Structure 1
């Protein structure tokens, strides 16, 4: 069938109206796991992830914090509120942070995408922090590439900044980890380069936890991943210098 000019124009208009949106809807989503917010349940034997999330929000409403720590078990099992069943550096925490209206948003076993979910679901709402300390990435080492980890941290920082526009953000380098020392050192170099673009501070704690041969100083760790009491006594004043 031969279309006259008016029919041809109408046909093209209908194709643009209906065909083009379908192509847009069908476009593939970002496949990087570190940028997709999800909940987690990998540490259910030690604590209840969802329950801790609810505790954080309730505490924030009762006593809005000025300083916020966001991270994984390295922060969670240090000390602070909400109170954890595991506290490896309570004395150092009390000495440097107890009187500073600090909230501990460290969650054991959290990966970057889990922190992203928490940030997007109320943990930074309803108050204005002066400082936010972020420690993320160590639990992604076994499942993500360095590029994916850096991208995830970048997205996470952007989400934090949208909710806490006045806070100074201190991004800690990933702490050294037994068997991953070389990789973490190179990865932290990449993370450090992202910080200026995001207009945040980067602080690398690696040197204080490593020996001269580049391996971790195991006397500062409880298990090759988490600092022990001595390790936290080194970490506390380092962080405190950024939030005085």
Structure 2
């Protein structure tokens, strides 16, 4: 029973076995269409859903089957959403986003070329668009893992807008500000790198999408930051502070989610 499944969420946010099991169950039912439509019709009658009234026997059976399959998908999604609460770290909302992205992506891809989708479409034509919207929401939630890096960069750019750092000799407070800024940026990149090494994204297209979204969000901003401040004379120990250049950061992002593969 999908609604009663109490298993823990997958390690690293990977696709949960329940997702593949539910889809395999639906695909298996299709191999026995007569039995499947009987099961679906019993479910529809129990739920007192009457949208199929007036249809012929075969059409009614397929319509009821679509209602049943759509409900299974809704139960699956509700169960997956609840499972995100099982991740130990309450502060790491990114792992929850990764988990939902993995599972919704798997669901949409598996349904895309399946006769199951055609059957569901007859009674619920907006089902695909709903889960595509859920995917976009989770994608936005995922990109929030870049927020500490974005904030660290923006703070230094705003400081420069106010204080207009010299290209020559810098004031002591400006040198200290740059040291603090690069230290914060380095820490943010270190944490982001470590965080994304712990996540599992098995689907190649999804991995590429997440990397692309990250680079679109951060790379132009980081290039501006690096080109503006990295060569200023604020320290004798430059290697300590300018550990990451744009090429290095882009390479790091391109290697996200490879740790478990």
TM-score exceeds 0.5: no
Structure with more of its chain in helix, by fraction: 2
Q: Which structure ranks higher in relative contact order (CA pairs < 8 Å, sequence separation ≥ 6)?
A: 2
Q: Point out the structure with max Rg over C-alpha.
A: 2
Structure with more of its chain in strand, by fraction: 1
Please give the TM-score of this superposition, normalised by the length of structure 1.
0.28
Please give the TM-score of this superposition, normalised by the length of structure 2.
0.27
